[in-house]
Structure 1
């Protein structure tokens, strides 16, 4: 199974691109579990909540894999949880770091902050987008995760992502 993670700061179109890619390739995608969890429990969260979100995200990915056709797309990954936890609480639980180190996506698409910010009650940092984008870049490099950056309009993003996915599929 080919696994593609879509990651990046808030309001960069991760959910939209994940859904579009799954539709384009006729497969499944794992929605961002944090949104489901926070919709049910409210926008204030603790480190314990982030651990539940991490478990839910892993379960959502495995559920999507179970019905996928050769390729699955994952809207966010444990890197998002790591960055959230370290920013909000100063550290990330060791088990999440361990799972992140073991997590194997064939490609990670890092979405740029060049789309306009869309306000949402669950989004927190509209003025820290550059900081977080650079943090994602550095973390991906530090973890040795293969990634490509995606920029531009929605149509440009989808075209660039499909180009990268097609190239990956051809190489396998």
Structure 2
């Protein structure tokens, strides 16, 4: 069977990921940035996958869901690359999936996900801070653990040695800083 790299990325396309704990504005900002740069954004696969699971069975995420979530996210990214101009914005990635796997399943991360992480093709991360209001929904469950979760996300970025900055403040401030950063990245 032919080996397939699920992380293939066009050389001329910058992959930017909004990264961080739940309810920190990732979706809003990724949509806003994609609209500004006239490109596409990739939604968080886990959100629809887990919402459907909850709606159908009233069950939450299990360890067995981690690989389908990672594969689904990578498939959405591959589709996004086909439609993107020179920037693809992602409302999460497999590194985020690994953080949640560690947080919810006693530091366990499936081997297949670890292999995907070795091929991580993200060019830049925006780590979203927890200074946004908490918005509850069926899937969000850590309103009292936001600082601990933020710390896990920051440690994951430091360990991966991927470039990132922390975005804080209101929507306008986050957008302004993200835009300045992207403009610098695309000029080099």
Instruction: Return the TM-score normalized by structure 1.
Output: 0.96
Q: How many residues align?
A: 171
Larger radius of gyration: 2
Instruction: Look up the match of 1:45.
Output: 61
Counterpart of 2:139? Answer: 122
**Structure 1: runs of 5 or more not aligned:** none
Is 1:32 the counterpart of 2:32? The answer is no
Within 5 A, what are the aligned runs for 1:1-172?
1-42=13-54, 44-90=60-106, 91-171=108-188
Displacement of 1:41 in angstroms is 1.2
**Structure 1: how far apart are the matches of 2:43 and 2:24?**
15
In the TM superposition, residue 101 of structure 1 has moved relative to its aligned partner by: 2.4
Is the 1:78–1:96 Cα contact (8 Å) retained in structure 2? yes
In 1, distance between residues paired with 2:135 and 2:69? 22
Gaps of 5+ in 2: 1-12
- TM-score normalised per structure 2: 0.88
Structure 1 residue ranges (4+ consecutive) displaced by more than 4 angstroms after TM superposition: none
Q: Which has the higher helix share?
A: 1
Q: Distance in 1 between matches of 2:88 and 2:148?
A: 29
CA RMSD in angstroms, aligned pairs only: 1.0
Please state how far the C-alpha of 1:97 moved relative to its aligned partner: 1.4
* Distance in 1, Cα, partners of 2:122 & 2:140: 26
Q: Could you report, residue by residue, the CA deviation over 1:47-79 in whole angstroms, capped at 9, with x for unpaired residues?
A: 111211111111111111110011100101112
